[in-house]
């Protein structure tokens, strides 16, 4: 079910020029290679004409200058773990994989910063800084393979965002190449800086459409002294949601405050080797970190609040290994879903956290009404709900009902003061919907910013903006 | 010594149109009023042609549409407490004071956000949220009178930035009017959101050149349970700086880590009613906050580190009143400087925090070499040094030496990997120097962003960008 939408291939001469820039061994054109770099976690596929794997930042300006001259697309790519198709070459052209630029350049313990190349895997950076007692908090579920460059492009979040914020909050400076080929340096290497417009935070989350990041300066913080995890089961989601509200009202900000609805619990209990109270209507996975004394006290406070709100079971991890077990239950949700049906349409809505029960109620009702398997889980502390609708793409009637559900879900999200995407980005899969959230004036100014950076629209075209984007429903 | 640089007045007909938009009582044209709104804390003065005080956001689009039609400047203004002239009408036109739009619209305790109009005074907001046990951390020294709108325009910091970050870190959504008159809504009201480019963070710190902010959604956090302050005197700055490094290396992030050099201490001791060890070569004001147990432990750790690095005197506040006394010593620096000479040239450089002693050494040497009164104090935890050169503007030879000193200081700052401004912005006073920090490609892309927002350059023209800016050294 794959189909390539691009209109024209780049010429053999262009391929030769690209080989001259990055080296023959770093320019791939074999069909097998093109296929590997033509898909991502969105499950869509669009083949590029060539794949480049530059070894250093110095090679990138020439690639972009050539692209402007010959008007072919250049699509930056990290690990390809994005869920919205942000890294797919929808108009063909060149995929620019940054994975060979994967050095941690330095870790500065006195100034609490690190300088990294974009291809560094997030988990590798976290381990390297942890050895020095330091902490890089952003923790997208993909962290074992996704890269800092990809995390920057999508402004990746994760469970810890509730306390520690998202990727944007840790990027203080960049080296990047503009779409027209000029290298720029943005932001600072220091704790603060307000000279000129904040290009750094503008590039973060721009999904590789404004610049190719070649180096990032990231802020680090001290590793928390201590951490404690607990898993609480409730009879219904309302009780779990009340608990979330009461924890926040008690002025405790856990470093994770995750939830699963009844469908998610049943999936995990049925398909994975994880012990869970199957009858529970909702579960919360709560983790607190910080100074040891405070963690102990806050864990006690949270347990009391869970019980007061009617928790039917609470499990507290006594060790790191125990804590891992509890996290496994949460992490098992996504893989276990595929036991229901072969594909999922995964949404990433956010509502004000106090409105989670109302929203999940709405989602469950829509599942019943449109006869769809809807599973909800995610970051309750942020109001960020991952809504998974399990589908069989061969069932065209079901696919029609899914599209209707997604449109209704987005309308309801906006009506509740929420946003269509908390951490996955827009890419191609959400582009048709962004007018629901951003008005015409906002989209116009964003388009003008894109044109100010990329007059020939060569860098990652066909993403974010409606109309231009071309999701046509062809899945792998 | 004031002089107005603008080339043309707006016509009487235009004034009538503006009166029709905002109401006659909200449009000022008396010379006394124009004078009040023609200066700020930079001490420069440029008279506007009219001052508007809109009462609601609905009046602002028409003002900007008229400005685009008749090509006159519109200069947004908060409390006028900025130090770099960012709010001065350098080309005349209309000053748009947001001070009458000063409502706290809501404080949402469940979702930890507040919605405010731009004219809300920062300290008033802090008091209002503190009553609910919540905390809005940014604390520029001007907080008793500066407004949230002004704080957003300049991305204000303050002592607490070392632990809690700056204004940018707390602004999650905006309502604003584009320079061409279209109202837009940016960002989210939720904890996360990644739909489209981050216009919110781009507008924060843009010094009123990209949009007029009419409403902001700010993130709040729980009020820390406990706080403790101490003041430590050292024989020399090197010992104080070593202490800063050791505190950070001990993985303690205080909520304030301020320093004063010997000149600052002498100023305060001589001119203010504050008891300080006059012979001290440097002082640190350190504050820790958080859970009670941790604050007690960290205060002990910090005291020990101060003593190990040779502190000659340590004073710990036993109560809030005592803590205020210690803060008074730090706050007395700026006012006491004016006892030396009537004016100051105030710089706001940042270097990696480990390089503070080297930088202050350089600053002291430049003072001796160029026979200038140089006083250094500021946020040691951020590497943010406020360098005050005290001057008599009538002494033209001294002014020449000051200009030479400033240029050398900026060169050294950049050479150390620092930035020209940590929290004061660029405005007009630093615009001639920004090429030292931002290369031509960076400035070009910023100019293109400005043009994308403001094709007729009506909103706060003459700021940030070099060449265009027109500081000609005329002070009040």
Which of B194, B379, B384 is opposite residue A421, by nearest beta carbon? Answer: B194
CA distance B263 to B355: 19
CA-based nearest distance A401→chain B, Å? 24
Structure tokens at A211: 């610049």
- Hey, are the CB atoms on A204 and B198 less than 8 Å from each other? yes
Residue-level pLDDT at A323: 93
Using an 8 Å CB-CB cutoff, list chain A residues near B383.
111, 190-192
> A415 in contact with B at a CB cutoff of 8 Å?
no
Dihedral of alpha carbons A342, A345, A349, A353, sign: negative
Q: In what order do the strands lie in the sheet with B282-290?
A: B311-316, B226-234, B282-290, B256-261, B373-379, B384-391, B343-350
- Hey, are the CB atoms on A249 and B109 less than 8 Å from each other? yes
Q: With a cut of 70, say whether residue B203 has pLDDT above it.
A: yes
According to DSSP, the residues that pair with B27 across neighbouring strands are B52
CA distance B92 to A267: 67
- Hey, are the CB atoms on A178 and B445 less than 8 Å from each other? yes
Q: Let me know if B124 is exposed, middle or buried by CB neighbors in 10 A (0-12, 13-18, 19+).
A: middle
- Hey, are the CB atoms on B191 and A383 less than 8 Å from each other? yes
Q: Among residues of chain A, what percentage have pLDDT more than 70? A: 96
Residue-level pLDDT at A473: 35
Cβ within 8 Å of residue B424, ≥6 positions away: A194, B82, B83, B84, B154, B346, B348, B430
- Hey, are the CB atoms on B201 and A202 less than 8 Å from each other? yes
Residue-level pLDDT at A468: 58
In eight-state DSSP terms, residue A248 is H
Q: What angle do CA A130, A135, A141 make, to 5 degrees?
A: 95
Residues lower than pLDDT 70 in chain A: 1-8, 468-476
| pLDDT category of residue B8 using cuts at 50, 70 and 90 | low
Please name the residues between 197 and 216 in chain A that touch chain B, using a CB distance below 8 Å.
197-199, 201-202, 204-206, 210
> B383 in contact with A at a CB cutoff of 8 Å?
yes
Residue-level pLDDT at B332: 86
> A448 in contact with B at a CB cutoff of 8 Å?
yes
SS in 3 state form for chain B? CCCCCCCCCCCHHHHHHHHHHHCHHHEECCHHHHHHCCECCCCEECCCCEEECCCCHHHHHHHHHHHHHHCCCEEEECCCCCCCCCCCCCCCCEEEECCCCCCEEEEECCCCEEEECCCCEHHHHHHHHHCCCEECCCCCCCCCCCEHHHHHHHCCCCCCHHHHCCHHHHEEEEEEECCCCCEEEEECCCCCCCCCCCHHHHHCCCCCCCCEEEEEEEECEECCCEEEEEEEEECCHHHHHHHHHHHHHCCCCCCEEEEEEHHHHHHHHHHCCCCCCCCCCEEEEEEEEECHHHHHHHHHHHHHHHHHCCEEEEEECCCHHHHHHHHHHHHCHHHHHCCCCCEEEEEEEECCHHHHHHHHHHHHHHHHHCCCEEEEEEEHHHCEEEEEEEECCCCHHHHHHHHHHHHHHHHHHHHCCCECECCCCCCCCCHHHHHHCCCHHHHHHHHHHHHHHCCCCCECCCCCCCCCCCCCCCEC
> B131 in contact with A at a CB cutoff of 8 Å?
no
Which of B192, B249, B442 is opposite residue A157, by nearest beta carbon? Answer: B192
Q: With a cut of 80, say whether residue B135 has pLDDT above it.
A: yes
Residue-level pLDDT at B334: 83
Structure tokens at B312: 């000659």
Q: Let me know if B353 is exposed, middle or buried by CB neighbors in 10 A (0-12, 13-18, 19+).
A: buried
pTM: 0.95
> A420 in contact with B at a CB cutoff of 8 Å?
yes
- Hey, are the CB atoms on B290 and A291 less than 8 Å from each other? yes
| pLDDT category of residue B430 using cuts at 50, 70 and 90 | very high
Average pLDDT over residues B121-147: 97
- Hey, are the CB atoms on A249 and B110 less than 8 Å from each other? yes
- Hey, are the CB atoms on B353 and A430 less than 8 Å from each other? no
CA-based nearest distance B274→chain A, Å? 30
Using an 8 Å CB-CB cutoff, list chain A residues near B194.
154-155, 205, 419, 421-426
Q: Among residues of chain B, what percentage have pLDDT more than 70? A: 96
Cβ within 8 Å of residue B228, ≥6 positions away: B287, B288, B289, B295, B296, B299, B316, B317, B323
| pLDDT category of residue B275 using cuts at 50, 70 and 90 | confident
State pLDDT tens for residues A236-281: 988 999 999 999 999 999 999 999 999 999 888 887 777 778 789 9
Q: With a cut of 50, say whether residue B5 has pLDDT above it.
A: no
State pLDDT tens for residues B53-89: 999 999 999 999 999 999 999 999 999 999 999 999 9
| pLDDT category of residue B343 using cuts at 50, 70 and 90 | confident
Residue-level pLDDT at B474: 41
Rounded to the nearest 10 degrees, the angle between the axes of helix A12-22 and helix A60-70 is 160
Q: What is the ipTM of this complex?
A: 0.94
What is the residue whose two structure tokens read 């929290």? B423
Residue-level pLDDT at B472: 42
CA-based nearest distance A172→chain B, Å? 12
- Hey, are the CB atoms on B445 and A184 less than 8 Å from each other? yes
State pLDDT tens for residues B9-24: 799 999 999 999 999 9
Of residues B439 and B340, more confidence is placed in B439
Residue-level pLDDT at B256: 97
Using an 8 Å CB-CB cutoff, list chain A residues near B155.
194, 198
Q: With a cut of 80, say whether residue B468 has pLDDT above it.
A: no
Q: If you measure CA to CA, which chain B residue comes closest to A380?
A: B191
């Amino acid at each position: 079910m794959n189909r390539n939408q691009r209109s024209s291939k780049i010429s053999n001469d262009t391929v030769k020029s690209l080989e001259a820039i990055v080296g023959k061994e770093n320019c791939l054109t074999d069909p097998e290679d093109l296929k590997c770099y033509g898909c991502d976690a969105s499950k869509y596929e669009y083949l590029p004409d060539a794949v480049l794997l530059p070894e250093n930042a110095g090679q990138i300006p020439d690639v972009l200058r050539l692209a402007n001259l010959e008007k072919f697309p250049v699509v930056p790519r990290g690990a390809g773990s994005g869920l919205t198709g942000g890294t797919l070459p929808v108009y063909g052209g060149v995929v620019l994989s940054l994975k060979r630029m994967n050095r941690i350049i330095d870790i500065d313990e006195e100034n609490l910063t690190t300088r990294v190349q974009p291809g560094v895997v997030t988990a590798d950076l976290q381990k390297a800084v942890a050895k020095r007692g330091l902490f890089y908090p952003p923790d997208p579920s993909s962290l074992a393979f996704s890269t800092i460059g990809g995390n920057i492009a999508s402004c990746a979040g994760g469970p810890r965002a509730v306390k520690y914020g998202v990727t944007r909050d840790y990027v203080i400076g960049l080296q990047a190449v503009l779409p027209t080929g000029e290298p720029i340096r943005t932001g600072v290497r220091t704790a603060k800086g307000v000279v000129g417009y904040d290009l750094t935070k503008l590039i973060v989350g721009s999904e590789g459409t404004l610049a190719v990041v070649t180096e990032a300066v990231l802020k680090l913080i001290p590793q928390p002294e201590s951490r404690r995890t607990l898993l609480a089961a409730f009879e219904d989601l309302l009780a779990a949601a009340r608990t979330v509200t009461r924890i926040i009202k008690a002025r405790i900000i856990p470093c994770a405050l995750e939830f699963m609805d009844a469908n998610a619990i049943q999936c995990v209990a049925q398909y994975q080797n994880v012990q869970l109270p199957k009858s529970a209507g909702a579960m919360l996975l709560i983790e607190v970190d910080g100074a040891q004394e405070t963690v102990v006290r806050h864990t006690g406070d949270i347990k009391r609040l869970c019980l007061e709100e009617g928790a039917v079971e609470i499990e507290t991890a006594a060790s790191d290994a125990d804590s891992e077990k509890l996290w496994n239950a949460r992490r098992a949700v996504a893989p276990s879903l595929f036991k229901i049906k072969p594909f999922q349409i995964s949404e990433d809505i956010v509502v004000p956290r106090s409105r989670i029960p109302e929203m999940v109620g709405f989602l469950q009702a829509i599942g019943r009404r449109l006869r769809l398997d809807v599973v909800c889980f995610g970051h309750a502390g942020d109001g960020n709900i991952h809504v998974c609708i399990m589908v069989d793409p061969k069932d065209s009637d079901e696919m029609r009902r899914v599209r209707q559900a997604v449109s209704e879900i987005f309308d309801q999200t906006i009506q509740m003061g929420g946003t269509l995407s908390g951490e996955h980005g827009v890419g191609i899969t959400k582009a048709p919907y962004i007018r629901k959230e951003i008005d015409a004036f906002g989209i116009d100014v964003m388009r003008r910013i894109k044109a100010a950076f990329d007059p020939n629209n060569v860098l990652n075209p066909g993403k974010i903006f409606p109309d231009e984007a071309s999701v046509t429903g062809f899945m792998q």
